[in-house]
Amino acid sequence: MRALVVDKPEAGQTARAAFRDFAEAELPEGDVLLRVTHSTVNYKDGLAVTGRAPVVRRFPMVPGIDMVGVVEESAAPAVKPGDHVILNGWGVGETHCGAYAPRARVKADWLVPLPEGIAPAEAAAIGTAGYTAMLCVMALERHGITPDRGPVLVTGAAGGVGSVAIALLSRLGWYVAASTGRPEEQAYLESLGAKEVVPRDRYAGGPARPLGKEVWAAAVDTVGSKTLAGVLAEVRYGGAVAACGLAQGMDLPASVAPFILRGVALLGVDSVMAPRPLRLEAWSRLAKDLDRDALRAMTTTATLDQVPEIAGRILAGQVRGRVVVEIGA
């Protein structure tokens, strides 16, 4: 089968993905064989395909961390041929071959049934980005943060996680502010439900103050580093930030002041290894709480051949919303 594959690089070379014939026998072990119908291009996929960061840790590797497909063969009693399923995370596309091929062999425990009412292409459009956004919303809710507490800020707003987070939070009754470095996307962000657009430089520019004016009841941060530090300094007393990304960096040049003087909570959100019950809850909520018109507005469609070009653009911040890749639809 024709697949996008990262092979082990020669000494001193970068591990970049390229199309080649990939035998089904090269697929790793697993108790379920899927016919992959749809995938997406996420920031992590961009890193894997371009070789900009050592995301791939086993070779040969088929990238693609999001997978929607139909079960063809199964040795697991809970999963049957013909089932439509979703796979997000679990090291797929990094240590276990992913979605940029017509077939994938995976573990049954990693699969989530396609929720009723969600089409396969919609599930791919949601993907890891939308599922992560839902986990962030759930984290804020579990901490007791509700829309009546005040406005919520979403950083990296024009990206995949940010776009879905805006749509979800707006529909749930929040006043949503969107932080972006792309002012030309204001109309797009407002169409998703943002009531206010905040320039990225407000947080990403210089060092954050230990404390600033209390502005936000909560935030969803997809950026990390200086941006997260600046946001924390403006969270109101007793507020919380759900942090799920590190596009700006893994460092956190902040002080303890927001935590010990305002009781602000920093809620780490991981989507890769999240337990199955949490995944099922998140996908159930997405089926109920995500406006499909908003999802369509943030989604474009591409072919597998276009993935390398899109991977470069997503790392350059030139892709907004979600990109659905039709593998074998």
Instruction: Confirm whether 219 is domain-assigned.
Output: yes
Instruction: Confirm whether 160 is domain-assigned.
Output: yes
User: Does residue 142 sit in the same domain as residue 256?
Assistant: yes
Instruction: Confirm whether 120 is domain-assigned.
Output: no
User: Does residue 48 sit in the same domain as residue 163?
Assistant: no
Cα(196)–Cα(111) distance, rounded to whole angstroms? 37
Residue 207 pLDDT grade (very low, low, confident, very high; cuts 50, 70, 90)? confident
Q: What's the total number of domains in the chain?
A: 2
User: Does residue 306 sit in the same domain as residue 257?
Assistant: no
| Amino acid at residue number 75 | A
Domain boundary residue, one of 228, 249, 268:
268
User: Does residue 34 sit in the same domain as residue 140?
Assistant: no
User: Does residue 9 sit in the same domain as residue 83?
Assistant: yes
Domain boundary residue, one of 253, 268, 283:
268
User: Does residue 92 sit in the same domain as residue 144?
Assistant: no
User: Does residue 63 sit in the same domain as residue 6?
Assistant: yes
Q: Quick one: pLDDT at residue 329?
A: 58
- What is the residue-averaged pLDDT of the chain? 96
Q: Quick one: pLDDT at residue 238?
A: 98
User: Does residue 310 sit in the same domain as residue 248?
Assistant: no
Residue 83 has pLDDT above 80, yes or no: yes
pLDDT digits (tens, 9 = 90+) for 156-176: 999 999 999 999 999 999 999
Q: Quick one: pLDDT at residue 208?
A: 80
Q: Quick one: pLDDT at residue 205?
A: 78
User: Does residue 168 sit in the same domain as residue 193?
Assistant: yes
Instruction: Confirm whether 93 is domain-assigned.
Output: yes
Q: What is the CATH number of the domain that holds 24?
A: 3.90.180.10
Q: Quick one: pLDDT at residue 75?
A: 98
Region 132-153: mean pLDDT is: 98
Instruction: Confirm whether 49 is domain-assigned.
Output: yes
User: Does residue 109 sit in the same domain as residue 150?
Assistant: no
Instruction: Confirm whether 289 is domain-assigned.
Output: no
User: Does residue 110 sit in the same domain as residue 140?
Assistant: no
Q: What is the CATH number of the domain that holds 242?
A: 3.40.50.720
Instruction: Confirm whether 280 is domain-assigned.
Output: no
pLDDT digits (tens, 9 = 90+) for 221-257: 999 999 999 999 999 999 999 999 998 999 999 999 9
User: Does residue 132 sit in the same domain as residue 168?
Assistant: yes
Label each residue of the chain as H, E or C.
Answer: CEEEEECCCCCCCCCCEEEEECCHHHCCCCCEEEEEEEEECCHHHHHHHHCCCCCCCCCCECCCCEEEEEEEEECCCCCCCCCEEEEECCCECCCECCCCCCEEEECHHHCEECCCCCCHHHHHHHHHHHHHHHHHHHHHHHCCCCHHHCCEEECCCCCHHHHHHHHHHHHCCCCEEEEECCHHHHHHHHHHCCCEEEECHHHHCCCCCCCCCCCEEEEEECCEHHHHHHHHCCEEEEEEEEECCCCCECCCCCCCHHHHHCCCEEEECCCCCCCHHHHHHHHHHHHHHCCHHHHHHCEEEEEHHHHHHHHHHHHCCCCCCEEEEECCC
Q: Which domain holds residue 82?
A: 2-114+298-326
Q: Quick one: pLDDT at residue 10?
A: 84
Instruction: Confirm whether 27 is domain-assigned.
Output: yes
